[in-house]
Amino acid sequence: MTHLASAGPAAPRKPAILIVDDAPDNVSLLRTMMLRQDYQTFVATSGERAIEIAQRVKPDLVLLDVVMPGMDGLETCRRLKAHPVTARIPVIFMSARGETEDIVAGFDIGAVDYIPKPLRMEEVCARVRAQLRLNSGSAVQKEQAERLRMIVDSMDQGLLIVERNGRVQYANPACDRYLGYAADELVGRSLAELLAQQDHYPDSAAAMEAFGHGTREVLIRHRDGCLRAMDLTMTPMHAADDLFVALLHDITHHKQSEDALHRAAMLDPLTKIANRRHFDTFLEKEWQRAIRNAQPLSLVVLDVDHFKLYNDTLGHVAGDVCLQKVAQALDAHALRPTDLAARYGGEEFVLLFAETPHEAAARLAEAIRTTVEALQLPNPRSPTSPWITVSVGVATIVPTQLDEIEQLFVCADRAMYAAKGAGRNRVETAVAGAAWEAVRSAAMY
């Protein structure tokens, strides 16, 4: 029984030499010498036969006589180089014709060496060995290059080779696929042209300088004009080449998921407006901006009147719908990027209006109160109104470094309770600085 494990490694393939010469003595001498070098040998005595054998066995080297009847060596070489199967096989010419024109013609059509006749066998063997070594090294390089090309072509990541001036020299299939381009369509384009932040960079060289080495998140413009979020990694290939490898990894789906999670973390799940955490963060940012610019900041705090009676009478599902409609009405009044409406807890809502003086904030608060009442959401047991209403408190402050955010909240909250105490469904206002001092004075005595 034969065990596969006991079989040794396969013997390396012997180099194959094709000898082409119409002189029997030369053929015999060359064949004997090649066999002694442990080469496989094939023989042809005409150019036509040489082409036939070369296409069939694909030798590692051809020793080719120049002067032959019929098709001479020059024409034979020309046809070998013209055929894709034999084009890369090295050809060494052998000839007694040593004129410069003949030698130049041989090299021009693709020969790698020229051996004068009469042949000196030691010289022939040395030249054959040298060409086989060169060809073997070239074959290894070609195989490595082919393997590298296959790896690059099958990558999921986009790969660009970019010159220091930002011009794209090469783009792999994944990069074309990411950005919607046909093969080679990206070649010659500039890196700055692909970046959504194009306005930030006057040219591609500036973009290359800005990105430098390492990885950063960028927006790349797809061929259809839409933007894709990608990680861009720039690495120099070689300092002397002034070339960079740019790797692109599409993170659009990841960013969409991340953005969705971020938005969900900032929203109240019931009303879909800002939650308390988001509002507090937003308020801190606007508070600091108001201090820097010495601008007024107005806070509106409101509470749905008799909401417990509403829930007890109509049920919690109806209560949820009520809160959602009230939230939509409030959000419709937060029109600027510096405005924000939020559910602060239960049936309590807040609105922030930056750069808004006291009188304007009071008018906005009254508009909000009117809008909620106009919804005409029935509240059968309310002693205030047959509809859902809100009690609203407004406070305004021009903050300084000596003030605290708590001042604004306390004043707005006290104004809201004043609205409740005055019969509900109304707006009460306060100026935070004066009210806060009154609160502090009352607490001290």
Question: pLDDT for 129-179, tens place per residue?
Answer: 888 888 776 666 666 767 777 777 777 788 888 888 888 888 888 888 888
More confident residue, 240 or 130: 130
Sheet containing 243-250, strands listed edge to edge, beginning at the edge strand earlier in sequence: 168-171, 158-163, 243-250, 227-238, 214-221
pLDDT band at 257 (very low <50, low <70, confident <90, very high): low
Can you give the pLDDT at residue 214? 62
How far apart are the C-alpha atoms of 381 and 307, rounded to whole Å?
10
Q: What is the mean pLDDT of residues 114-123?
A: 88
Q: How far is CA 28 from CA 18, 269, 402, in A?
A: 13, 93, 108
Can you give the pLDDT at residue 221? 82
Can you give the pLDDT at residue 77? 93
pLDDT band at 325 (very low <50, low <70, confident <90, very high): very high
- Confirm if 394 and 365 have CB atoms less than 8 A apart: yes
Residue-range domain boundaries for the chain: 14-149, 158-254, 267-444
How far apart are the C-alpha atoms of 78 and 259, rounded to whole Å?
64
CA angle at residue 415 from 414 to 418, to 5 degrees? 90
DSSP state of 12: P
What number of other Cβ atoms are within 10 A of residue 59's Cβ? 22
Q: Under 8 Å CB-to-CB from 349, ≥6 apart: which residues?
A: 301, 302, 303, 326, 327, 330, 341, 342, 343, 390
Q: How many CA atoms lie within 13 A of 262 on its CB side?
A: 6
Can you give the pLDDT at residue 2? 43
Can you give the pLDDT at residue 4? 43
Q: What is the mean pLDDT of residues 88-109?
A: 84
- Residues 327-384 have pLDDT tens digits of 999 999 988 888 999 998 889 999 999 999 999 999 999 999 999 999 999 988 889 8
Please classify residue 257 by burial: count the beta carbons closer than 10 Å to its beta carbon, then call 0-12 exposed, 13-18 middle and 19+ buried. Answer: exposed
Can you give the pLDDT at residue 243? 83
Task: Report the CATH fold assignment for 267-444.
Answer: Alpha-Beta Plaits (3.30.70)
pLDDT band at 199 (very low <50, low <70, confident <90, very high): very low
- Residues 281-304 have pLDDT tens digits of 999 999 999 999 999 999 999 999
Please name the residue that has the structure tokens 């408190």. 393
pLDDT band at 441 (very low <50, low <70, confident <90, very high): very low
Q: Where is mean pLDDT largest: 204-208, 225-229, 237-241, 371-375?
A: 371-375
Amino acid identity at 402:
L
pLDDT band at 392 (very low <50, low <70, confident <90, very high): very high
Q: How far is CA 79 from CA 23, 102, 219, 324, 396, in A?
A: 22, 17, 53, 84, 93
Can you give the pLDDT at residue 369? 94
Q: What is the mean pLDDT of residues 394-413?
A: 92
Can you give the pLDDT at residue 256? 59
How far apart are the C-alpha atoms of 64 and 68, rounded to whole Å?
10
Can you give the pLDDT at residue 152? 76
Query: Helix axis angle, 358-374 relative to 316-331, nearest 10°?
Result: 140
**Quick one: CA torsion of 141, 142, 145, 147, rounded to 10 degrees?**
-110
How far apart are the C-alpha atoms of 412 and 390, rounded to whole Å?
14
Q: Which of 301, 278, 306 is nearest to 385 (CA)?
A: 306
Q: Under 8 Å CB-to-CB from 176, ≥6 apart: which residues?
A: 182, 183, 185, 186
Pairing status of strand 158-163 against strand 243-250: antiparallel
Of the CATH numbers 3.90.1580.10, 3.40.50.2300, 3.40.50.1110, 3.90.1150.10, which one belongs to the domain with range 14-149? Answer: 3.40.50.2300
Can you give the pLDDT at residue 207? 57
- Residues 11-39 have pLDDT tens digits of 567 899 999 999 998 899 999 999 999 99
pTM for the structure as a whole: 0.46
| 5, pLDDT greater than 50 | no
Query: Helix axis angle, 121-153 relative to 24-36, nearest 10°?
Result: 60
Q: How many CA atoms lie within 13 A of 8 on its CB side?
A: 2
Can you give the pLDDT at residue 98? 67
Please give the mean pLDDT across all residues of the chain.
83
Task: Report the CATH fold assignment for 158-254.
Answer: Beta-Lactamase (3.30.450)
Q: What is the mean pLDDT of residues 227-249?
A: 78
DSSP state of 338: T
| 198, pLDDT greater than 70 | no
More confident residue, 235 or 438: 235
How far apart are the C-alpha atoms of 362 and 339, rounded to whole Å?
15
How far apart are the C-alpha atoms of 379 and 6, rounded to whole Å?
92
